[in-house]
Amino acid sequence: MKTKTLTLKQIAEQIDHHQITGIDMDKITSHSPDITVKDSYEIQQHWEQCALKRGDLKIGWKMGLTSVAKQRSVGVNEPIYGRLTNSMEVHSNTLSLKGLIHPRVEPEIAFVIKEELKGDQLTARDVWKATEFIMPAVEVIDSRYKNFSFTLVDVVADNASSSRFFLSDQAFSPFHTPLDKLEVNMYRNGEKVQSGVGSAVLGHPVKSVIELAKMLHHVGLAIQPGMVILTGGITEAVNVYDGDELKVTFDSLGEINFDVK
Ligand code: 0L1
Ligand code: MG
């Protein structure tokens, strides 16, 4: 569709600019109130094209708003998905604040997929069979909108606030431990700031992968082999600031540590 003044592609380019420069922006619904959720997923797709043209590689998907608590905190009542590219992955133990606006971090479980997952009727068994390994992860979300304030349409268009992510050095068999029982704690500067269990993610992180496949199927897409999937926050996200030291423990799956500069 064409909005009053901007095409969906132009809106994607605008969001891309704010993602790269780390300058916050007005909600897109403030100038284009007629945009639908379907349109905003199209904006995401255009955004992905911008990233790929810059040389980024598509490496996966993120699920967001996978807990009732998180949905309530942002006034949205359904899970959403976003797209991951290689330049979003942090390979050191430092989260650089360059290009970020008001970052928050949250612990997640990542699935790495080895066989195509396609359809809206998948079972947990289908997902386990198609999973190569799982990894503890920390997602950095950073809404490009002023004051982290948005509607469902805005946040989907902004790639579900996705910005950076850490994966643990160690991968685990998907059968290593029941992920719904996994206890996760997040410490900022030595103080425990969040704790939660894996069941916060739609009852079990595997259900998030099923839901992603279903949502993608409805727009003619599937999860391809090799893709990384961030399944959703196990706890609330916490703000991070220059000089912070973060430690996130994932029970028998180890921990992720990083500082913020
Ligand atoms: O990953 C998430 O659950 C965040 C999705 C977008 C909402 C937010 O920015 O808090
Ligand atoms: Mg997340």
Three-state DSSP string of 134-194: EEEEEEEECCCEHHHCCCHHHHHHCHHHEEEEEECCCCECCCCCCCCCCEEEEEECCEEEE
Indicate which atom in ligand 1 lies nearest the CA of residue 155. Answer: 6
- The verdict on ipTM greater than 0.90 is yes
Q: Which residues surround ligand 2, an ion (CB under 5 A)?
A: 139, 233
For ligand 1, whether the C-beta of 103 sits within 6 Å is no
Question: pLDDT, tens digit, for every residue of 213-238?
Answer: 999 999 999 999 999 999 999 999 99
| Amino acid 72: pLDDT | 86
Gyration radius (Cα) of the chain, Å? 17
| Amino acid 75: pLDDT | 83
Question: pLDDT, tens digit, for every residue of 121-179?
Answer: 999 999 999 999 999 999 999 999 999 999 999 999 999 999 999 999 999 999 999 99
Indicate which atom in ligand 1 lies nearest the CA of residue 162. Answer: 1
Structural domain boundaries of the chain? 57-260
Whether pTM exceeds 0.90: yes
| Amino acid 186: pLDDT | 98
pLDDT at 99 exceeding the cut of 80: yes
For ligand 1, whether the C-beta of 161 sits within 6 Å is yes
Residue labelled with tokens 């132009």: 10
Paired sense of beta strands 94-95 and 80-85, if any: unpaired
Question: pLDDT, tens digit, for every residue of 61-80?
Answer: 999 999 988 888 888 888 99
| Amino acid 2: pLDDT | 46
Amino acid code (one letter) for 215:
M
Ligand 1 centre from 17 Cα, in Å? 20
Ligand 1 centre from 38 Cα, in Å? 18
**Residue 86 in tokens:** 């290689």
Ligand 1 atom 5: residue of nearest CA: 64
| Amino acid 22: pLDDT | 96
Ligand 1 atom 3: residue of nearest CA: 64
Residue 150: name the closest of 13, 27, 15, 3 by CA: 27
Return the best residue to mutate from 63, 65, 212, 215 for the ligand 1 pocket (most ligand atoms within 8 A of CB). 65
| Amino acid 227: pLDDT | 98
Identify the band that residue 3 occupies on the pLDDT scale cut at 50, 70 and 90: very low
Ligand 1 centre from 65 Cα, in Å? 6
| Amino acid 4: pLDDT | 52
pLDDT at 94 exceeding the cut of 90: yes
Indicate which atom in ligand 1 lies nearest the CA of residue 66. Answer: 3
Residue 19: name the closest of 137, 160, 153, 149 by CA: 160
Ligand 1 centre from 56 Cα, in Å? 22
Q: Which secondary-structure segment (H or E) carries 259?
A: strand 255-260
| Amino acid 73: pLDDT | 80
Q: How many CB atoms lie within 10 A of CB 244?
A: 17
16/44 Cα distance (integer angstroms): 10
How many distinct helices (H) and strands (E) make up the chain? 7, 12
260/187 Cα distance (integer angstroms): 13
Identify the band that residue 204 occupies on the pLDDT scale cut at 50, 70 and 90: very high
Given this structure, which CATH class describes domain 57-260?
alpha beta
Q: Which ligand is nearest to the CA of 82?
A: 1
